[in-house]
Homo-oligomer: A and B are copies of this chain.
């Protein structure tokens, strides 16, 4: 496998998927889908789980946010995550801050720039997504969902942390 392809796949795996929370009867095609095709609403208001930095071709700084059920499970330390849990991965360009560097007196400060590498979600529904560890995965770039071929690459990497219910990110105290 080419390194570029490998990184793309790993990127998808480390962050992303999304599942619809709309009643299945409203959209038969959504019900049949293996992956999430609609962006969960209000995710930018969710609480912080943790932050991270990816070098390499991703070259971003990122935040992982969780809805109420996600935060509850993290804080309780209880696995598996409850149905209804949604975890979001946002990422931005990793920009040096000349403004901050001037204050620090040296080049050391990097801040979030423009949105980068899409937004990714994991949505827990143990029945609907039983075939993929109970999680529906999603990746959106400028509002557009990735195709199934890409989304199918999520689970194989998340298998590495099957003992943490397939979730890489740990809660930052």
Q: Residues on A close to B: CB < 8 A?
A: 3, 6-7, 10-11, 13-14, 44-48, 50-56, 58, 61-63, 65, 90, 92, 94, 97, 99-100, 102-112, 114-115, 157, 160-161, 168-170, 172-173
Residues of B within 8 A of A105 (CB): 3, 6-7, 10
Q: How far is the CB of A125 from chain B (nearest CB, A)?
A: 24
Instruction: Check B53 against A92 for contact (C-beta < 8 Å).
Output: no
Residues of B within 8 A of A102 (CB): 160
A-B contact pairs, 25 of them (CB 8 A): A3-B105, A3-B106, A7-B106, A10-B105, A11-B104, A13-B103, A14-B100, A14-B104, A44-B48, A50-B92, A51-B51, A51-B63, A51-B111, A52-B61, A52-B100, A52-B109, A52-B110, A53-B94, A55-B108, A55-B109, A55-B110, A56-B108, A90-B172, A103-B157, A114-B173
